Structure 1
Amino acid sequence: MSDDPMRVLTALAVPDSGLRAESVLAAARASARRRRIGALAAAGLAGAVALTGTAVAVVRAEARPPMVAGPAIAAVPTVPPPACTVAPLARPGRDGRVSVAAIDPSGRFVVGRLDAAGGPWLVVWTDGAPTVPAGGRGFEPHDVNAAGVIAGTLDHQAAVFRGGEAVRLPVYEGTTAADALGINSRGDLVGAADRNGRRLAVLWMIDAPNPLGLNGDTLSRSAGRIADDGLIVGTVDNGGRAATWLPPARAALLPAPAGPGEGGAAVDVAGDWIAGWAGHTGPRKQAVRWNRRTGAVEALPGLAARAVSATGTVVGSSYGPTPGPALWRDGGLAVLTAPDGGTGGALVDISADGRTIVGYGGRTPAIWHC
């Protein structure tokens, strides 16, 4: 394990997102000064903001407004499943239970975990071939970028795995545990840290020595994924509302479709699309897809959403008449076939082009090529 928490990140050659640590931190400090002299007198007002100049209407998280009504939830439309081949993920050369966590945007890297003697262990599939890195003992993966850099957790602390090393990230002030849940192509990471019984959204920028808390501590919050342009998606108020951040701006609440229940979270972002859930009936969370460019808000009935591709395909699991690994595209829900020809299971993640998907067929980790 490296003694330098950020050294392994700095060698990564990645496209420029336009975000710079000095500008984000300077803006954050200026924002803090404005708040101290009374600008928060207007924080209780709901405001209309736009996601990175797009048409999706949002409101400030700290205002805690009522749920914003969008399109009503409809009956479950179904479409024929796409033509996909499916196979179990190749097992690593050790006994134990294997789980799958994520696939990178290119579809080349898949990451998961092996629960075996001396572990758990990180598992990395590269072009379908599994390896169990010696430096991955105890590392829990959550996301991976196209360079194979993995966001995760090590010994209850946010960590990154690159070049065979698991490295703990700097601890956010006053927190006792943390998870790095998302990573973009630049190597910026987002996640959540625990402090005094609350989850706080945190950003680790590749060119900054210290993590940045997102929006102070007025609400419990968690950041789950970060896009290449710096947009962060997650939840505020312990799963109370789906939200986005574009540092140094404050959290913005995503509009929710009309329907039963409250609560919500944005779980993934790719291209113009954000996927998540808003509202629920009992344990069933209502999947939602937001379009950053057009402002469209679409309920996806019958689906529990886990991830979205840059083409807008949302993957997860079906809770309709035919439960199992499912996706939403072309205006409807399609249930995919498991490796043994049956159903059951869930899709966990999808490549940017929407053609490679990982998840479970029944309880078997599997990969679909569509």
Structure 2
Amino acid sequence: MTHLARCTTIAGLTVGLLAAPVGIATAPAVAGRTGSACAVRPLAYPPDVYRAEADAIDPTGRFVAGTALRIEETGNRDLLLVWDRDRLSTLESPLVSAVSDVNAHGVVLGNGWIDARSRPWVFRDGTLTLLPVAPSQSVGASAINEVGDIVGSAEDRTTGHYHPLRWPAARPGTVETLDIPRTDARPVGITPDGTIVGNAGDFAQWTAWVRRPDGRVADLTVPGARTAVVDAAAGHWAVGRVDLGGPQEMRVRWDLRDRSWSRLADELELVTDVNARGVVVGGDRIARGGTSRVLPGGTGARSIADTGTVVGFRNDGRVIPVRWTGC
């Protein structure tokens, strides 16, 4: 059944531009791939915040989105940070506690809290807008593609079970429940052609799945896997983790065209994102198949563009947003 609702616009929210980046020393470049130098540089951020980080970059590398926290005597203030190339816009709102994604049109997707319930929102053209949801549900949005289709999931507060949702760009202001025959199916990514990947199942019994644009659903797994979890998708790639019964999970990359899989570098302790070329980032590393390298001067790589630009954060006693290039 499709649930229809209308969007609600948050009035009175303003965007302020930060004219110039703060002065932070740039980490030295280190030798990278042939003809490139892998380097990390800070992104501009408000100088009066307690911490700031970059969470998502669009496939073209133009738009970056993240969050910051300002501590005041009257309470903590959440800020949304959006970089268009090197120009920073900021928005203060109690709703902007987390950023999920940003697409090539600069539409930012995230989640916040209203009355102890998670509520998803989009930030477009300077305006923060709540996505339509059923009033009784706690809902989270996880990804947006270049068309503008959004996926996420809703929790039934009575049973505790989840069901998958899609906000179709072709029908603005509406939300629909996806037909995915898996218990507790939760989408985590959507590619430009509408392919959706996600996870299902109870705690420690997870299964990963892919839903084709025509509605067909199939598992993403590895022979002998006890559990499988997908973390991100781009192009025809998905990345995640499988439990084969060893001392640690194995990091894998699936080719969504035929669901074949390959093992990622063992040094990659975390998997947070993949780009359309199949390059993977997580923690302080970037991986191409079975090989990986340490990203210089960083702590947490969060997202990678198709251009190879990576964003995340660095913690040198203070968490700040950074961008890696040439890696």
TM category, shorter: 0.7 to 0.9
> How big is the shift at 1:88?
2.0
Q: 1:297 aligns with which of 254, 261, 275?
A: 261
Distance 2:102 2:202 in 1: 25
Distance 2:9 2:240 in 1: 33
> How big is the shift at 1:95?
2.2
Q: 1:132 aligns with which of 73, 90, 93?
A: 90
After TM superposition, the structure 1 stretch with the greater mean CA deviation from structure 2, 86-95 or 186-195, is 86-95
Which residue matches 1:41?
none
Distance 1:192 1:258 in 2: 28
Q: 2:287 corresponds to which letter in structure 1?
A: W
Which residue matches 2:183?
219
Identical aligned residues as a percent = 30
Which residue matches 1:183?
144
| Gap change, CA 1:93 and 1:4, over 3 Å in 2 | farther
Q: 2:194 corresponds to which letter in structure 1?
A: G
Contact in 1 for aligned 2:182/2:200 (Cα 8 Å): no
Distance 1:333 1:282 in 2: 21
Contact in 1 for aligned 2:189/2:196 (Cα 8 Å): yes
Q: Deviations over 1:24-48 (max 9, x none)?
A: xxxxxxxxxxxxxxxxxxxxxxxxx
Distance 2:282 2:223 in 1: 19
Which residue matches 1:204?
167
Distance 1:131 1:91 in 2: 9
1:152 aligns with 2:110: yes
> How big is the shift at 1:154?
3.0
Q: Deviations over 1:145-182 (max 9, x none)?
A: 0111011113221211112222111115x752111110
RMSD between aligned alpha carbons?
A: 2.7
| Gap change, CA 1:206 and 1:283, over 3 Å in 2 | farther
Question: Residue 192 of structure 1: SS of its match in structure 2?
Answer: strand
Distance 1:290 1:193 in 2: 26
Q: 1:269 aligns with which of 200, 215, 233?
A: 233
Distance 2:313 2:296 in 1: 10
Q: 2:67 corresponds to which letter in structure 1?
A: R
Point out the structure with the larger strand share: 2
Which residue matches 2:21?
none
Which residue matches 1:99?
53
Contact in 2 for aligned 1:226/1:269 (Cα 8 Å): yes
Question: Residue 81 of structure 2: SS of its match in structure 1?
Answer: strand
Q: How many correspondences in the alignment?
A: 280
> How big is the shift at 1:286?
2.2
Contact in 2 for aligned 1:159/1:179 (Cα 8 Å): no
Contact in 2 for aligned 1:92/1:130 (Cα 8 Å): no
Which residue matches 2:287?
328
After TM superposition, the structure 1 stretch with the greater mean CA deviation from structure 2, 88-97 or 139-148, is 88-97
Which residue matches 1:359?
312
Contact in 2 for aligned 1:241/1:278 (Cα 8 Å): no
Q: 2:64 corresponds to which letter in structure 1?
A: V
Distance 2:248 2:313 in 1: 19
Listed as ranges, the matches of 1:1-370 within 5 Å are 5=7, 82=33, 83-116=37-70, 117=72, 119-134=77-92, 136-139=93-96, 140-155=98-113, 156-172=118-134, 175-195=136-156, 196-208=159-171, 209-215=173-179, 219-238=183-202, 240-247=206-213, 249-256=215-222, 258=224, 262-279=226-243, 284-293=248-257, 295-300=259-264, 301-303=266-268, 304-317=270-283, 325-329=284-288, 331-338=290-297, 345-353=299-307, 355-362=308-315, 363-370=319-326
| Gap change, CA 1:329 and 1:218, over 3 Å in 2 | closer
Runs of 4+ displaced beyond 4 Å: 280-284
> How big is the shift at 1:94?
3.1
TM-score, length of structure 2 as denominator length: 0.77
Point out the structure with the larger helix share: 1
Contact in 2 for aligned 1:257/1:298 (Cα 8 Å): no
Q: Deviations over 1:245-299 (max 9, x none)?
A: 125525321122556xx32222222222111122267895421101134643112
TM-score, length of structure 1 as denominator length: 0.68
> How big is the shift at 1:365?
2.6
Question: Residue 120 of structure 1: SS of its match in structure 2?
Answer: strand
> How big is the shift at 1:224?
1.0
Which residue matches 1:62?
none
Distance 2:123 2:244 in 1: 35
